[in-house]
A and B are shown apart, each in its own frame.
Chain A
Amino acid sequence: MPAGRSRATTTSSTSAGGHVEIVELTKSFGETLAVDGISISIEAGEFFSLLGPSGCGKTTTLRMVAGFEEPTSGAILLDGKDVARLAPNKRNVNTVFQSYALFPFLNVADNVAFGLKYQSLGRSEVSQRVGEALDLVQLAGYERRRPGQLSGGQQQRVALARALVLKPAVLLLDEPLGALDAKLRRALQVELKALQERVGVTFLYVTHDQEEALTMSDRLAVMSTGHIAQLGTPREVYEEPADAYVADFLGVSNLMEATVIRSGTDSSPCQLQIGEFHLEAECGVLSATGAVKLAIRPERVQLKPYDEPGQNRVPGMVERVVFLGSASQVIVRLAPGETLQSLVHNDGELVAFQQGSAVNVLLPPDALRVLPGGGASVAEIREETYGDQPDLAAVASPGAP
């Protein structure tokens, strides 16, 4: 059980509940199917991410949970009660928008107090809650500023405070770090995760940034063209991608076409052929047959001298050596034509392989993963998506910048 969830139950400020059950949820815009019957169960207090490229349906899903889009079919159970057809103001969920959507004519305190007006509270309680919320996001002292006088990161915190002050069962975050620069984004990732663990509210987080999703989530769903490609913990999704799409999207860019000669079992490896070379693989779908994709992470690809023979090796030629600081990235073209990246750790010595030199590429069987069906890569899916439907999220909310 992830740490976030266990801690949630002990935090006093937590509002009860926050269990979200998405059942066979579907949304179509005219002819286009944006969300295609997805089902997700999110535990109370969990940090759950929807990850995918633009147009995969993640934002539409979030907007349906928030109540801005009416599902074509399916149910959204919030603590057992179907809210799919309730107006947004009747749901105990709050949203942090990508553009923050802070009201420009109100100062920070009034922005945070906006939603409290709909709960019958005394004036002193309102100001106390606003103060607490601003403390929580470390913005005490900024009460009288206007949103226009704040930096992007500060506006982001106000948006968080404005949503959290209402003590929602679920907080929905639509690419909340998307508009910030890389350094601030990384700092806020850590902070956001810590905040979520502190308040214990269920977070449903939408992002196209795999690093963000992997760092912060308890679990995540990788989405592709309206359905879920894989659902699991960050470690599961990263280390055991279900198919080539997930592997590619999570940055496992070494994908090779291969043909199964003899399927494997739990105890025997899968025998494959890539070009004229014979390989064994011990991970992934070992029972696959026919054309498959082979995945291997760059840090597991080993470069050996050309004249050193052995098992699971394919000859190749170094195309490029890129110095990355802590490591060097060596790009190798294999004899059958595939290009691989190898990450060579920088331990003070020069990389022995120069551009143009011949090498023997060792692909250890325990690092080679068989992925079924030669599925479409992210690039191909993206192309399809952009071809006829530029961005479903943009279609759904034409005003959003």
Chain B
Amino acid sequence: MNTEWIKVVIAAFFEVFWVIGLKHADNLWAWIGTMIAIIISFYLMIMAGKKLPVGTVYAVFVGLGTAGTVFSDFVFFGEPFQIAKVFLILVLLAGVIGLKLVTKDTDKEGVES
């Protein structure tokens, strides 16, 4: 079941790339890279929904993607550091960990077989 959660995390990681790409891509290769990141991130997110509840997966995907984008703005694009944003990122991560804990291992499993 941890594999499924790792898929969601990697999907969110690629989401950060394509969000940056949509904002900053200025040549053909950057756009191709952005498209590839979109395809990888959606593929992993959709596949994680096979075993985990889709509502949970999509919320975590959107949430971690947003947190990652804000974080990359701090680190790579020189956005001013705001305490409110750090607080919101912590709330978001607490929610993700909570969802991981309350999602039963057996959710939807066995439906396929």
Are A and B genuine complex partners? no
B contact set with A: CB distance below 8 Å: none
A contact set with B: CB distance below 8 Å: none
